[in-house]
């Protein structure tokens, strides 16, 4: 039995199956016009926070209060580089203005917006900007000025400000690099160009002990189409991405100490994926398929970790070779 209940803008779908009632609710708001870009995060209460960039470069911050939108114009204009909520649900933005090289850190303190310039160089998009406990923020970035490529990490504390950035020694950005946070560790996945393919490197950094582990799972023919997704459960970690719409993956079954060579496969081909964002950042339990078997659904198809990990393990080639160059 399926029931649909609707009022203008809102709808419910109820499905009674084998004595269990399943339901979903959809709220459709008024369209916002005159935008050139937008970015959004969700807080632990399930309320949406949006930063919208207008065509005239004005920035609007809006948050859902459960029954209505509360919005305000930000005191600066520019391009949004990063947007997060701290553990106290206060918004923080990193902004780039067209007429000055410094990056602005804009944050809400009480009912007033405060701004400061970052006390370090940031000449490339942030790699990772995420909340920690007690209102602190963890940041990983790169400085490619003065003929060098330097990766670094730092922490923002509301009581003391930004820490002095700490360089990540032995880590090279390569042609593509992506950063992830999982269970207190920083994971850096990078592609390095060779003559005919790309060497894949994985760095596992412990920020507390200032130690890192460098692994070379293998080689791939192409760069990723988009940012890879990190999925995990217990000691099983899975990096998943697409290259030329073909699904590719690399996984560990011992908590990240060793990794099987990167593989690619034709299941779901052609496909594209995105991370599922949640209050804690990107989910490690689900991935969203924006294209699957050539179909592009109106709403992404969300698939859980378990069936994907089982499928990847089932098609692994040469599973006995670990941490050695491998080309699919």
What's the pLDDT tens digit per position in 130-147? 999 999 999 999 987 766
The percent of residues above 90 in pLDDT, for the chain, comes to 69
Q: In the prediction, which pLDDT does 1 show?
A: 52
Check residue 322 and give its pLDDT: 42
Tell which wins on pLDDT, 287 or 111. Answer: 287
Mean pLDDT, residues 218-229 taken together: 96
Q: Assign 328 a pLDDT band (cuts: 50, 70, 90).
A: very low
Q: Is the pLDDT of residue 185 over 90?
A: yes
Of the candidates 105, 79, 250, 97, the one whose C-alpha atom is nearest the C-alpha of residue 180 is 250
Please enumerate, as own/partner, the contacts of 275-283 that have beta carbons within 8 Å and a separation of 24 or more: 275/227, 275/229, 276/302, 277/41, 277/42, 278/42, 279/42, 279/43, 279/44, 279/46, 281/130, 281/131, 281/181, 282/180, 282/229, 282/230
**pTM confidence score:** 0.88
Range 9-27 burial, b when 16+ CB lie within 10 A, else e: eeeeeeeeeeeeeeeeeee
Whether the ω angle into residue 297 lies within 30 degrees of 0, i.e. cis, is: no
More confident residue, 110 or 7: 110
Confidence of residue 318 (pLDDT cuts 50, 70, 90): low
Q: Are the C-beta atoms of residues 64 and 45 closer than 8 Å to each other?
A: no
Angle, alpha carbons 269-310-288 (nearest 5°): 50
What integer pLDDT is reported at residue 131 of this predicted model?
A: 96
Nearest to 290 by CA among 268, 266, 317: 268
Q: Is 314 helix (H, G, I), strand (E, B) or coil?
A: helix
Rounded to the nearest integer, the mean pLDDT of the chain is: 90
Confidence class for position 298, pLDDT limits 50, 70, 90: confident
Q: Which residues pair with 166 in a beta bridge?
A: 153
Per-residue pLDDT at 108? 95
Please state the length of the chain.
328
Decide: 300 and 290 in contact? Cβ < 8 Å.
yes
The stretch 241-267 carries a mean pLDDT of 94
Q: Which of 66-70, 237-241, 301-305 has the lowest mean pLDDT?
A: 66-70
pLDDT digits (tens, 9 = 90+) for 45-101: 989 999 999 998 899 999 988 778 899 999 999 999 999 999 999 999 999 987 888
Q: What is the mean pLDDT of residues 306-326?
A: 72
Asked whether 122 and 154 are in contact (CB, 8 A), the reply is: no
Fold entry, domain 32-139: Neuraminidase (2.120.10)
Q: Residue 31's pLDDT is what?
A: 75
What are the boundaries of each domain within the chain? 1-30, 32-139
pLDDT at position 90 is 95
146 or 223, higher pLDDT: 223
Q: Would you place residue 323 in the very low, low, confident or very high pLDDT band (cuts 50, 70, 90)?
A: very low
The pLDDT-based confidence of 113 (bands split at 50, 70, 90) is very high
Q: Is the pLDDT of residue 237 over 60?
A: yes
Beta partners for 35? Answer: 54
């Amino acid at each position: 039995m399926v029931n649909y209940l609707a009022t203008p803008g809102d709808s419910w779908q109820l499905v009674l199956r084998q004595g269990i009632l399943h339901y979903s609710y959809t709220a459709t708001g008024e369209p916002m016009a005159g935008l050139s870009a937008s970015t959004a995060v969700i807080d632990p209460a399930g309320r949406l926070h949006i930063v919208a960039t207008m065509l005239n470069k004005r920035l609007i911050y809006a948050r859902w209060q459960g029954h209505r939108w509360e919005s305000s114009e930000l005191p600066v204009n520019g391009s949004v580089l990063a947007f997060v909520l701290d553990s106290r649900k206060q918004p923080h933005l990193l902004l780039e203005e067209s007429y000055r090289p410094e990056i602005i850190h804009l944050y809400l303190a009480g009912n007033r917006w405060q701004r400061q310039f970052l006390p370090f160089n940031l000449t490339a998009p942030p790699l990772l900007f995420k909340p920690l406990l007690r209102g602190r923020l963890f940041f990983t970035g790169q400085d490619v000025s003065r003929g060098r490529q330097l990766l670094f990490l730092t922490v923002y504390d509301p009581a003391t400000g930004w820490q002095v950035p700490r360089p990540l020694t032995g880590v090279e950005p390569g042609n593509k690099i992506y950063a992830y946070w999982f269970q207190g560790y920083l994971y850096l996945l990078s592609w390095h160009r060779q003559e005919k393919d790309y060497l894949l490197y994985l760095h596992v950094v412990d920020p507390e002990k200032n130690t890192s582990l460098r692994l070379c799972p293998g080689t791939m023919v192409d760069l990723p189409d988009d940012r890879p997704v990190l999925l995990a459960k217990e000691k099983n970690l899975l990096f998943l991405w697409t290259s030329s719409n073909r699904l590719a993956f690399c996984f560990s079954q011992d908590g990240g100490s060793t990794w099987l060579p990167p593989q690619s496969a034709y299941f779901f081909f052609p496909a594209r994926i995105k991370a599922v964002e949640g209050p804690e950042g990107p989910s490690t339990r689900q991935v969203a398929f924006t294209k699957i078997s050539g179909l592009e659904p109106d709403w992404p198809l969300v698939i859980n970790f378990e069936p994907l990990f089982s499928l990847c393990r089932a098609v692994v080639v040469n599973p006995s070779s670990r941490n050695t160059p491998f080309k699919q």
